[in-house]
Structure 1
Amino acid sequence: MTRNPLSAARTPFIRLLLPLLAGIVGQALLHLPLWGCLLPGLGGLVLWGLQTKRGTIEEQYRKREFFGWGLFLILLSAGATLHYLQQRPYRLPEGFYPIAVAHIDHKAVEKEGAYYCPASITGLVDTLGHTVPYREKVALYFEKSLSAGRLDYGDRVVFEFRLRPIAGIGNPGDFDRATFMRYQGIARNQYLADERWRYIGHEPRSEFRAWAAMQQTALAHRIDTCHLAPHSALLLKTLLLGDRADFPPDLRQSFSASGLSHILAVSGLHMGVIASLVYLLLFPLAWSETGRKLRPLLTLLVLWIYACITGLSPSAVRASIMASFLLTAEFLERRNSSLNALFAAAFFMLLYDTRLVFDAGFQMSFAAVAAILLFYRRLNVGGKSPYRLVRWASSCTAVSIAAQAGALPIAIYYFHTLPLLFLVGNLVVLPLLPVIFGLALLMLLLTALHLPYLWLATATDLLLRFIEGLSLAIDHLPGSHLEGVWLEPRYLWGYFIGGILIYLTVKRRSKRLLGLTLGAAILFLAADLATHRAPCPEIVVYEDPQSTVVQLSDRGHCYLLLPDTLPVEGPLPGEPYRQQNGYASYTLIQPGTTPVEGPQLLVDYPFALFHGKRLLLLDTPGRKGSDTQLPGERLSIDYAVVDRQFDGRLADVVRLFDIGQVIIGANVHPSRARLWLNDCYKQGIACHDVRTEGAWTYRPAR
C-alpha cells in the first residue's frame, strides 16, 4: 500500500468529501435552481448505467473510470441539492396569524439590553384560535426580566408574530450578522417586550438534549459554588463546558492576541484530554480480553455524552466522529488512518448540515487538525531524543506550529489579529490542560459526594489564574500581536492550495509537481498584481446611533467630520473599514477646527469640497448660510447630511441651498427621519436614510 497519507487508498473518504464540498460551494456561489442541482446526478447515473452494461472482463476494466466519475457527479449533485433545500426561504401560509408558538432551542444568553434565545416556531395561531403547523428557526430577543432570563431548552412560548429580516452590514467592513445568522438557518428576528410574550410550558423536542442541557446547567452551577475566583470560574466553565456566554470580551481578546483562543472552544484538544483521562481510568479493563474490547467503546460513549453536554459544537462533533472511527477500529482490531477519519467526519457533518462549511469554527477545526496530521512528524525533530524534557518540548512545539499553520490564516481572515508569540503561551498552557481537567473533574466529583474539596479548588484556581495572567502578560508585551490585518479571500485560497501543492511536491519529490507549483505561484502573483487597485477616493456617512460621522478619504489621507465638540472616547465607527483600506490614522474635523486643504479636497466645517462635489453637514439650525453667500442666490450643495442636533426642516434649508441629495444620519429620531423623507419626496429630492438603508457611500468616477 502506498505510504502517501493523502492517497485515495489510505484516505478513501477524500473521494467522497471533495465532490460533496464542491457541490455545496458551487450552489452557494451560483444559486442554481433545483433542476440545475439535480442535473449532474442524472449524468452520474447515466455513467453508472454505461459501466454496468454486460461485457467482457477487459471491457468492464476499461470502463472502471465511469464508476468514479459517476460517483463524483452524484455527490456533486447531492451537495448542491442539500444546500438548496436547507437554504430555501420559509413560506408563510395564507391568512392572518397574529400569534406564533415557539420552542426555545437554547438557554437565554444575556446581551446588551436583552436576552437572546434561538427558537423554532412550531405553529401559527389565527384570530379564531386555530393553529396551523409552521416551521422556521428565528432569533428572539426578550426584554430583560426574571422570566426571560430563566428560559431554557425545551420551554415553549407564544408571542406576537412580527418577525423582521435580520439587518445586513450597517457599515462597510463591519461584521455581517445577517450572513452569519443565515448560515445557522436563521433569517429573521424579533424583539419582544415583556408584555408581548408568555411562557406556556416545558416540552422539549429531544429528551436526551434536554437532559444534556440540564447537566450543563447543573455543572455550571456546581462550578460557581466551588469557591473559585470569579474569572477562574468563568474560565473553567469555558474550558470544560464550552459555556462562553458570560466570558468577558476583553479577556477573550487577550486570549486571541496571545494565540490561546483555541482553548476557549471545546475542540479535539479537549476531547483528546477527556478521552485520555477516561481511557486511563478504565485501565483495570485491560486485564481481561472482554475488558480490552469494552474499553474503547466505553471511552467512546463518554466522549459522545461529553460532546452533547458541551453543546455539540462543530469541533466537538468532528473530534467525536474521528474518535468513533479510530476507537471502533481498535475494537475490531483493524488499522485506520487518522486523516481518513478526519475526512469521514467532515463528510458526515456536511451531509447533516451543509451550512457548516461556512462556519469559522468548522473551518478552523478541520484546518488545524489536518495540518497536525500532515506536518507533526516532520516538525517533531526531537521526538526520538533520549531525554523526556526534549521530547515533550519538541512535541508541544510541533503541535503548536502545525495547528497555527492550518488555522491561523482563517483566524486572521475572520478576526484580523495575528498573534506573534503564540508559541510561548502554547508551550506553557498545553501541558497544564490535562492537569486542570483532571483536578476540575475530581473537584466536581467530590462536591457531588459532599467530600472535602477545598484543596482541589485552591490548586485549580491557581492554575486558572496563572493561565489568565499569562494571556494578559503576553497581550501587553510590545509586538506580541498585530491588529487590523486583513486577508482577501483569494489569498486564503492561495495559501491552502499552495500549501497542498508544496506538501505533495516535497512528499513525492516530483519535478512535474514542482513545475506546476511554481507555475501556479507565478500566475497567481501576476493576476494579483494586474488586478490590484489602490483604495478609491470616497465619502462615507457611517451608521452610528450616537453621532453622525462623515469620512472623506483619498490618496492615503483620511478626514472625519464630527459635529460633536466633546473629546472622542473609543474607536469611531468605520474603524475596521479604515484598517482594511490602509488608513491607520485620520484627521478629526469638528466645529472650530482649522480648515484643511489638499488635492481635490477642501474642508471648512461644516462645508466640504471633494472631487468637485459640495457637501454640507447640518448640525444646528444656526448653520444655514455662509459668509460668502451672495444675496438673493442659493448655493449649490450636492449632498446635505442631517445630524440629530439639526432641528430644522427641509424648507429651512432649500431657501438658502440648492440640494442635490439628502442623507439622514442614523442618530436622527425615526419620527423626524420620516418627516425628512416625506419633505424630500414632495420636493423631488433624493434621500437616503442611514438608519434603515445602511451606510451611504459616494465614489467619484475615475
Structure 2
Amino acid sequence: MYTTIGEGFRFAPEVFTFFIALFLGLYFYSRNYRSAEINTWVGIVGLFCFAAAGFWVTELRTPHLQSDHLSNLNQKPAYYTGIVNDYVIQKPGYQRTVLAVDKVLVNGNWQKAIGQVQVTVPHDTPDDYTFTYGDKLLIKGSPLPVQGPLNPEQFNYKAYLQQKGIYHRQNLQVHQFTKLGNDPPNLLLYLSIQIRRYLEETIKENVLNRREAGISTALILGVKDDLDNDVRDSYAATGTMHVLAVSGMHVGLIFGVFLLLFKSINLNKSQRLVFVIIVLTLLWLYAFVTGLSASVLRAVLMFSLVMIAMVWSRRHNIYNTLAIVAFLLLFYDPYFLFDVGFQLSFLAVLGIVAIHPGIYSLLDINNRLLDKVWELFSIAVAAQLITLPLGIYYFHQFPVYFWLANIVVVPVSTFGLYAGLLALVLHWVPYLSDLLFALHFGSIWLMNEINLLLSTFPNALINGLDISVLQSWLLYSLMALFTLFLVRKKLKYLAFATLIVGVLSVHQILEMIDQQNQKLITIYSLRGSTGMAFIQNQHAVLVADSLLAADKQNYSFNIQAHLWDLGVSAPTVKLVGENPANSTGVISKILPDGNELLVWEGKKILLIWKPLKVQPLTTMELDYIVLGQNVRLKPEALLTFNFKTIVLDGSNKPWYVERMKAELSKKNIPVYDVATSGALVQQL
C-alpha cells in the first residue's frame, strides 16, 4: 500500500500512534465489560496497528525521503566519498559493487550526504579485486540516476535497484577513484566476505574445470560470477535453477541430516538443548559464509524456530512459523516483499507443505526406493505448481521436463553439496580431501550433463508465455479452489473454479482479437546496435544489424519481452543491407551508396549508415530517416527529403548524438533520440 499512496502521505507516525491508543482503549474497555462485539473490534484494530506499523517502517526504510539523500541535492557534486558496503561481483571485463556515500563536494564545500551508488570498474588491473568490502573511496564526478526501461515491456532495472535502496550508478575508470583506507561498516559481513572468498579460492584450486568450478561455487557458496551461460540456460530450461541459488533447499538438506540424528538418538531435555544449540550454530555459520541472503535468512530462521519448538516439545504450526519469519524479515526490510527470490521461496515452501501431502497420498508404493522417487516427484510437482503463475509472470516460460529433471538432479546435487561441504571442512587432510573433491566434481559434472541432455529434448522449454498481474491472481484463485474441491468435496468450489476458467478464457480471447488486429512499427533503444520491428497480427520482422543478430542477451533483454507481450513468439530476422525474403512483407531497396530504403504497409523508412552520395530527382516522401553508425552527414543534405522525424538509433556514440541533436535543432529539423527518449513506437 505504501508504494502506491505512501509517499504522498507523511503522517505515518501519527496514524500508528492513533491506532495503538485506540487498541489499548478498546482492550481495557473489553476487559471491564466483556463484550463479544468489543473483542471483535479489538482484533480488527490490532490488525490496523500492524498495517500502520508496516506503513511507518516502510517510510523509514525508503532512502530518498531523507533530506540529505543524493536525490535531493540541488547541484551535482564534483567529488564524493563513500565506503564499499557490498560484495564485489566479478564479471568478464568488469567488476561491480555498491558504495555507501557519506560526503559530497558541492561548490567547493564538503557536506554530509547519504545514498547508495552502484559503481562499475573495468578489469584492467593485475589484481582479481580492484577493491573490497570496507574500502573508503574518493571518486571524481557525479553519480547518475539509474535510467528506467527504454523499451516497451523491458525489465525495470531502475525499480529493481531502488527496492535495494540504490538510486544512482556510475561507470568508473581507474583514474577516477582513489582509495583512502579500509574501514568495514559491518565487521561480521566483512568476515563473511573474507571467508567466502577464501572458500571460493579453495574450490577453484581443487575443481580445475572452469565449468564445474562455476557450478560448485554457486551450489555451495551462492557465488554465480563464473557460471557458464550455456549451462545456466540448460538449468533454466529444466526448471532446476533453484539448485544454483543457495536457498531454503540447501539449508533444508543440511538441516535434514541433523534432524535424522535428532530422531535416531534418545536425548533428555538438557541434552536436546545442547544438540539444538550446536545445530543452530552450524546453520547460522552456513548462512554466514553464504552471505546472509534473504532466501538463506528465511530458511535458517524457519528451521531455527522449528528446532526450538522441538526442544521444548511444543507443537508447532509450519504456517505460523512461516508467518513469523516473513514478519521478521519484512520488519527488517519491507522491500524484501518485492524480491522475486523471496516470493518464490516462500511460495515453494507453502506448496510443499500444503500440496505435497495430497499429491504424495495419491499412490501407495510398498517399494522403499520407488516410494522415495515418488516422494521427490510429488515435492517437485508441488513446488512447481504453486510457483507456476508467478514464474510465468516474471520469466514468461515453463520448463516441461521439470518433474524428470528434479527427480534426477536434486539427489545428485544433494550428494554434490554434502561432498563439497565435507571437502571444504577437511581440505587440510591429505588424500581424503582429494577423494571428496573428486566425488564432488563427479557429481557436478553428471548434474551438468543431465541438464544439458534434458534441455535438448523436444519442447523442453515453452517460451513466450505472457500473463498480467490480474491473470496471475486468477490462476492462484483457480488453484486454491481446485485444492479446496479435492479436499472438502464440495461442488461450490468447483463452480467458482469453473467461473474463473471462464473469465480467463474470455480475457485470453479478447487479447487474441487485439493481437490479430495490431499493426505497429518499433525502433528500439539498443546500446551499440540497430533494431526495429515491423509487427502485424502475431508476426514480426526484426530488422537488425549483425551485432544485434549475434548478441542473444541484447535481444532478450531489450526486445523479446515486447514481442512476447504482442503475441509474437519469434520474429523473422532481416539483416541491415540484405534483401529479405518476399514472404516477410517488408520491401527493401539497397541504394547505390549502400544505404537502405524500407517500405512496409505504406510507411517508408530510410536507413542512412553511410555518407549520402545519391540524391532523389524529386522530393522523396519519407516517414522516418534513421541515422546510425556515426554517419558523417551535414543537415543540409537531408533537406531534399520530405520526412516527419530524424531518428538517432542506438548504434551511434553519445558524442555523435549530442553533436547531431545540436546541429539539427539549429535547422529546426525534428529529431528523436532513442537513447534518452526510449523506443519509438508508431501504431498504424
Calculate the TM-score normalised by the size of structure 1. Answer: 0.87
Change in 2 beyond 3 A, CA 1:435/1:116: same
Change in 2 beyond 3 A, CA 1:569/1:94: closer
Q: Offset at 1:672?
A: 2.6
- Corresponding residue SS for 2:309: helix
2:612 aligned partner: 622
The letter for the 2-side match of 1:67 is V
Q: Offset at 1:400?
A: 0.7
For 2:511 and 2:340, the matched residues in 1 are separated by 27
1:678 aligned partner: 662
8 Å CA contact 1:51–1:60 kept in 2: the answer is no
Deviations 1:229-278 (A, max 9, x none): 33222222111111111111221111111121111011111001112334
- Corresponding residue SS for 1:52: helix
For 2:415 and 2:4, the matched residues in 1 are separated by 46
Q: Offset at 1:485?
A: 2.7
1:134 aligned partner: 113
Change in 2 beyond 3 A, CA 1:191/1:236: same
1:34 aligns with 2:19: no
Matches within 5 A, 1:34-53: 34-35=9-10, 41=16, 44-45=19-20, 48=23, 51-52=26-27
Q: 1:544 aligns with which of 517, 526, 530?
A: 526
Deviations 1:141-194 (A, max 9, x none): 113224572422222222114100112223334332212211211111001110
- Corresponding residue SS for 2:185: coil
Using the TM superposition, name which of 50-59 and 256-265 deviates more: 50-59
1:405 aligned partner: 385
Change in 2 beyond 3 A, CA 1:597/1:432: closer
1:666 aligns with 2:650: yes
Using the TM superposition, name which of 261-270 and 587-596 deviates more: 587-596
Q: Offset at 1:310?
A: 0.6
1:370 aligns with 2:350: yes
1:487 aligned partner: 467
For 1:428 and 1:81, the matched residues in 2 are separated by 47
For 1:183 and 1:217, the matched residues in 2 are separated by 26
8 Å CA contact 1:421–1:474 kept in 2: the answer is yes
2:272 aligned partner: 292
Q: Offset at 1:336?
A: 0.5
- Corresponding residue SS for 2:550: coil
Q: Offset at 1:46?
A: 6.7
For 1:332 and 1:443, the matched residues in 2 are separated by 34
Change in 2 beyond 3 A, CA 1:225/1:591: closer
8 Å CA contact 2:630–2:653 kept in 1: the answer is no
Q: 2:151 aligns with which of 171, 181, 185?
A: 171
8 Å CA contact 1:285–1:291 kept in 2: the answer is no
Q: Offset at 1:84?
A: 3.5
For 1:187 and 1:494, the matched residues in 2 are separated by 34
8 Å CA contact 2:80–2:101 kept in 1: the answer is yes
Q: Offset at 1:640?
A: 1.6
For 1:247 and 1:528, the matched residues in 2 are separated by 38
1:581 aligned partner: 566
2:593 aligned partner: none
Matches within 5 A, 1:319-338: 319-338=299-318
8 Å CA contact 1:562–1:589 kept in 2: the answer is yes
2:674 aligned partner: 690
For 1:567 and 1:366, the matched residues in 2 are separated by 38
Q: Offset at 1:683?
A: 2.6
Deviations 1:106-131 (A, max 9, x none): 33222353210122112234676x75
Matches within 5 A, 1:483-562: 483-526=463-506, 529=509, 533-534=514-515, 536-562=518-544
Task: Give identity over the alignment, percent.
Answer: 21
For 1:283 and 1:335, the matched residues in 2 are separated by 16
- Corresponding residue SS for 1:662: strand
Q: Offset at 1:374?
A: 0.2
For 2:526 and 2:648, the matched residues in 1 are separated by 11
Change in 2 beyond 3 A, CA 1:111/1:623: farther
Matches within 5 A, 1:227-246: 227-246=207-226
Matches within 5 A, 1:642-657: 642-644=627-629, 646-654=631-639, 656-657=640-641
The letter for the 2-side match of 1:500 is A
The number of equivalent residue pairs is 666
For 1:567 and 1:547, the matched residues in 2 are separated by 6
Q: 1:194 aligns with which of 174, 181, 186?
A: 174
Using the TM superposition, name which of 349-358 and 86-95 deviates more: 86-95
Q: 1:78 aligns with which of 53, 56, 76?
A: 53
For 1:120 and 1:481, the matched residues in 2 are separated by 41
Change in 2 beyond 3 A, CA 1:50/1:264: same
The letter for the 1-side match of 2:647 is I
Using the TM superposition, name which of 324-333 and 517-526 deviates more: 517-526
Change in 2 beyond 3 A, CA 1:294/1:425: same
Change in 2 beyond 3 A, CA 1:552/1:53: same
Change in 2 beyond 3 A, CA 1:587/1:450: closer
Q: 2:406 aligns with which of 422, 426, 442?
A: 426
For 2:435 and 2:545, the matched residues in 1 are separated by 58
Q: Offset at 1:311?
A: 1.2
User: RMSD across aligned C-alpha pairs, in angstroms?
Assistant: 3.1
For 1:282 and 1:101, the matched residues in 2 are separated by 51
Deviations 1:517-555 (A, max 9, x none): 444444454455556622732111122344322322223
Deviations 1:351-391 (A, max 9, x none): 11111111111111111111000011111137864421132
Structure 2: state its 5+ residue gaps: 591-595
For 1:193 and 1:219, the matched residues in 2 are separated by 30
- Corresponding residue SS for 2:623: strand
Change in 2 beyond 3 A, CA 1:84/1:529: farther
For 2:262 and 2:500, the matched residues in 1 are separated by 51
For 1:671 and 1:480, the matched residues in 2 are separated by 45
